[in-house]
Amino acid sequence: MQQASATHIKTWIDGMNQYNATPEFGTTRIVFTKPELENRKYVKEEFQKLNMEVTEDAVGNIYATLKGEDSSLAPVWTGSHIDTVPNAGKFDGMAGVVCGMEAVRLIQECHLPHKRDITVVVYTSEEPTRYKMSCIGSRAMSGDLILEGTKQICDLDGRSLYDKLQELNYDLTQFDAIKKQPGDVYAAVELHIEQNNQLEKAGLPIGIVKRICAPSNYVVEVTGVQSHAGGTSMEERKDAYAAACEMALELEKIVKAHKSDFNTATIGSVRVVPDAMNVIPGKCIFTVDIRDCDMENKQIVIQAFKEAFSGIAKRRGVELAIEEKNNDLPLTCNPSILKMLEESCEELKTAYMPIISGPYHDSLFVGRFAPTAMLFVPSKNGISHSPEEWTDYEQIAKGADVLLHTICRLANCMQPLN
């Protein structure tokens, strides 16, 4: 079987990267902004050049299908996302979509037989950047997000996702049809960059993902007393930001004290009001992002941080409000697909290691309705969500080879995947 081409992969990655709000500093393609909409158009055109049937659902998930011998069989899915965080790299998500394209190109070039349809999916809004909700497209597929919910999800301008979808002429009467039932999809395999440095440290080209950590996200609002920085004594003040800082350090202690096979806690966004040099902050709003591959351990960490935060608030005489945005279940990947990924690596004489994904991916939600697994290619210095994000095109091509072999196995398999 012919090898995947690093040149084709680079051409598509560069093609997508033409659409970028911050070419001077990394890649920024926030969902439903001009560059992201232009990139959607580019990707659909490339799918059509690959003789694929392209459709889009009511939340903007794009489905590009290469027909198999028997389209009555449940299809094999691959794909990922094309939206980014601000000032990101150019591989997070894009690598998975492009490797799906390359696999489809090679299947046709080498006339590889496949009974099942093969669909490359581009999931809407995997990043929580605009709507503070991750994996919007795949959540809608899993039923975790219903049409009513899109009215409550708003961007920083207070505009709801619902309004945006209407403005973009998506047919919201079809929103319920996005939901997939078990059996609708035979198997789903997503290729992604690792976004950590385990593969690089081990000197290995492929990671086979056994478990995917899930996020639990909160917006915390601390309300103290806004007052004069020089007038109010240290004893009298109720400093919202100082309280938030104590909470941040306590959160770090809690997550380090409750280790699972992989768990993290991050405060990534902080806002201080009124944000002035000589005013004691009256308000501090910050986000909490907790990841864990073990739901039980995650619940312990969540319970502990909520108790700790309220203790700090009480002692400092400030008010506390914690809003839960999502509290998602981790995923254990499908053993049959994992075995096929290992067999593909062995067939290709490509070394690999089992790995846990700290980052979440759309596969976390696809795994709710279909047998799902992922494979990783290395990230240079483990960096991602940064202009420094890098993976060699040859490394991505190696991943595409493993993905191709696995997709072909699945597309000709008639056994149930347990």
Contacting residues toward Mn ion, per CB under 5 A: 92-93
Is the CB of residue 374 less than 8 Å from the CB of residue 363? yes
CB of 357 to ligand HGY, least distance (A): 8
Alpha carbon distance 333, 271 (integer Å): 37
CB of 273 to Mn ion, least distance (A): 29
Is the CB of residue 366 less than 8 Å from the CB of residue 63? no
Measured at the alpha carbon of residue 11, what is the angle toward residues 10 and 14, in degrees to the nearest 5? 80
Identity of the residue, 120 or 411, whose beta carbon is nearer to Mn ion in the bound complex? 120
CB of 317 to Mn ion, least distance (A): 39
Tell me which of ligand HGY, Mn ion, none is bound by residue 360, counting a contact when its beta carbon lies within the kind-specific cut-off of 5 to 8 angstroms: ligand HGY
Is the CB of residue 72 less than 8 Å from the CB of residue 64? no
Alpha carbon distance 361, 359 (integer Å): 7
Please state whether the peptide bond connecting residue 215 to the residue before it is cis, i.e. omega within 30 degrees of 0: no
Does position 63 interact with ligand HGY (CB under 6 A)? The reply is: no
Identity of the residue, 36 or 127, whose beta carbon is nearer to ligand HGY in the bound complex? 127
Binding mask 251-280 for ligand HGY (x = CB under 6 A): ------------------------------
Report 326-385 residues binding ligand HGY (CB under 6 A). Answer: 359-360
- Tell me the C-alpha to C-alpha distance, in Å, between residue 191 and each of 227, 363, 372, 395: 52, 10, 11, 12
Residue 415, strand partner residues: none
CB of 134 to ligand HGY, least distance (A): 6
DSSP element (H, E) containing 142: helix 136-142
Identity of the residue, 198 or 350, whose beta carbon is nearer to ligand HGY in the bound complex? 198
Identity of the residue, 268 or 274, whose beta carbon is nearer to ligand HGY in the bound complex? 268
Binding residues for ligand HGY, rule CB under 6 A, total: 5
Tell me which of Mn ion, ligand HGY, none is bound by residue 263, counting a contact when its beta carbon lies within the kind-specific cut-off of 5 to 8 angstroms: none
CB of 289 to ligand HGY, least distance (A): 7
| DSSP code, position 408 | H
CB of 362 to ligand HGY, least distance (A): 9
Contacts of 405 (CB under 8 A, 6+ apart): 1, 343, 344, 347, 348
Report 109-148 residues binding ligand HGY (CB under 6 A). Answer: 126-127, 134
Report which of 10, 113, 107 is spatially closest to residue 51, judged by C-alpha positions. Answer: 107
Tell me which of ligand HGY, Mn ion, none is bound by residue 134, counting a contact when its beta carbon lies within the kind-specific cut-off of 5 to 8 angstroms: ligand HGY
**What are residue 337's phi and psi, to 5 degrees?**
-70, -35
Residue 191, strand partner residues: 375
CB of 359 to ligand HGY, least distance (A): 3
3-state DSSP call for residue 158?
coil
Tell me which of Mn ion, ligand HGY, none is bound by residue 93, counting a contact when its beta carbon lies within the kind-specific cut-off of 5 to 8 angstroms: Mn ion
Q: Would you tell me which residues interact with ligand HGY (CB under 6 A)?
A: 126-127, 134, 359-360
